[in-house]
Chain A
Amino acid sequence: MNALAARQTRRARPTGAPASAFPARMVRLVSLGAGVVAWEVYGRAVHSPIFTYPSAVAAAGVDLVRTGELPSYLGSSLVVFSLGLLLAVAVGIPLGVLMGRRAMVEHAIDPWVNVFYAMPMVALIPVLVMWLGFQTKAKVIIVFLFCVFPVLINTYQGVRSTDARLLEVARSFCSPEGRLWRDVVLPSAAPFIVAGVRLALGRGLVGMVVSEFYTTITGLGYMIVQYANTFRTDRLFVPIVVLMIMGVGLTGLLRSLERRIAPWHVPGQE
């Protein structure tokens, strides 16, 4: 299975690039390992109070877990992140479908989407914090704003790319509009929607961390600010590594969902 995947990767390589004798997965692991080891060696050699290295970060991580600081701040970050993302999905998908199905809604929402999706949302954070306060509610709304546009836009595009022939089939069988969403439009747009959620994840994490920089009460972003201000670099890297793992893990999860969600895209597959 692994060997097969590697062979397919190699075949997919553009001609001209020499085929590697090593499996892709192994090269990746070695590269990652070499990076970590180099950091460790260099970090120990530097001997600076504001520099750190992986084993010190790991020790700080164990410490922060034991004191309960990391679990508690991670918990509060996760609450903010998942509420914001869920809200974005709950608003973005129906609104995206409406935009795709009703020209009036499309024209009404389109300019707002253009304005807000194109601008760097971080610019709004200070004013949002000023208006909404420092509590969870404010941060959830910020994460929501970061997440909603990719979900909305992808859903809309997915709906617009629904096969017109299938829409006609639905009409021919006298399907009501609500059933049409369920039977045709949403399944057809599903791969687009999942891709939109994957993009939203990345933006949502940014929104979460930056909003915690500004509200500085709790959360991973708060940990980062706090330990940067006190020059505890080993501890500072703990939330960073956690964010890295969250980003990679969630994105990977969504990618595998994307591959699984529309098996009919691969004709002749068993």
Chain B
Amino acid sequence: MVVVDGVAKRFRQGATAALETCSLEVRARELLCILGPSGSGKTTLLRIIDGLLRPDSGRVLIGGTEVTAPRPDVAMVFQHFGLLPWKTVYDNVAYGLRVQGRPEPEVRRVVPRYIEAVGLTGFEASYPYQLSGGMQQRVGLARALAVDPAVLLMDEPFGSLDAQTRELMQEELLRIWRSHPKTLVFVTHSIDEAIVLGDRIALMTHRPGRIREIVDVDIARPRDPEAVRLSPRYLELRSYVWQRLRSEVGARGAP
């Protein structure tokens, strides 16, 4: 579904590459987590997949066609939420549909459905600054889902939320993804989050960023995150991935 083929990116001439011959295949309707320490180029990779950034070499194919610019069938959920502060929840969720020129009757039909899916019914007229971080990111998620993308990209969407909200949002995401299945690329730096959510986990190396290894999670769905965290498979994966990441952290001489 999504093929990343030898993508490399260097932001400045002479600087260390942010990404180096990075290759990855995401299967249709799977939830793939990209896990890596901060600064390993996860955001850069996601921006390239979304068409926001052109790679220096290599290419990205989605559904067989090369990505050269942002496309309407790929949507992104941002770590910084990226909500328009001057628009209400309703208008933020409707944003993608409207800029893509969908007819207003369709907007009126679709938007309430996704507002309900993320549990924000009753907040349609609120502004982002009146909502908690978790609620703001629900808006971000609803906005991305509303355009019914074939591919959903999520860049550490819960990274700035407190631990409890974060776990709640993970459960919500699994529930929503079950009823609206998509090819989902989920970037995180949390091992726990990657195991709880992912079908597979792509481990990234630290600068220059590259996919080092892909781990099969192999935990049955539907998942209950609480139960997953108590399972032996979770502990096994956790220590395996941790070892791999630790050697990565060690490789750059950090404590």
**Contact indicator A174/B99 (Cβ below 8 Å):** yes
- Which residues of chain B from 79 to 115 have any CB-CB distance to chain A below 8 Å in the complex? 80, 82, 84-87, 95-96, 98-100
Chain B contact residues: over half helix, strand or loop, or mixed? loop
Q: Which B residues touch A264, using CB under 8 A? A: 85-86, 127-129
Within 8 Å by CB of B76, from A172, A187, A188, A263, lies A172
- Which residues of chain A from 164 to 223 have any CB-CB distance to chain B below 8 Å in the complex? 165-166, 168-176, 179, 183-184, 187-188, 190
Taking the nearest CB of chain B, how far is it from the CB of A205, in angstroms? 31
Instruction: Give the tally of cross-chain contacts (CB within 8 A).
Output: 60
Q: Which B residues touch A262, using CB under 8 A? A: 85-86
Docked pose: A188 CA to B87 CA in angstroms: 11
A172-B95 in contact given A187-B84, A264-B128, A269-B129 (Cβ < 8 Å): no
**Contact indicator A165/B70 (Cβ below 8 Å):** no
Report how many residues on chain A are interfacial, defined by Cβ distance under 8 Å.
25
Docked pose: A171 CA to B86 CA in angstroms: 18
Contact with A along B173-200 (1 / 0, CB 8 A): 0000000000000000000000000000
Taking the nearest CB of chain A, how far is it from the CB of B216, in angstroms? 30
Instruction: Answer whether residue B248 sits at the interface, using C-beta atoms and an 8 A cutoff.
Output: no
Q: Which A residues touch B130, using CB under 8 A? A: 270
Taking the nearest CB of chain B, how far is it from the CB of A184, in angstroms? 7
**Contact indicator B99/A263 (Cβ below 8 Å):** no
Q: List 26 A-B contacts (CB under 8 A).
A: A165-B78, A168-B82, A169-B76, A169-B84, A171-B52, A172-B50, A172-B52, A172-B76, A173-B99, A173-B100, A174-B70, A174-B71, A174-B100, A179-B98, A183-B84, A183-B87, A187-B84, A187-B86, A188-B86, A190-B86, A262-B86, A263-B127, A263-B129, A264-B127, A264-B128, A266-B129
Chain A residues with CB under 8 Å of chain B are: 165-166, 168-176, 179, 183-184, 187-188, 190, 262-264, 266-270
Chain B residues with CB under 8 Å of chain A are: 47, 50, 52, 70-72, 75-76, 78, 80, 82, 84-87, 95-96, 98-100, 127-130, 147
15 A-B pairs besides A174-B70, A175-B99 with CB distance below 8 A are: A165-B78, A168-B52, A170-B99, A173-B100, A174-B100, A183-B84, A183-B87, A183-B95, A187-B84, A188-B86, A263-B127, A264-B128, A264-B129, A269-B129, A270-B130
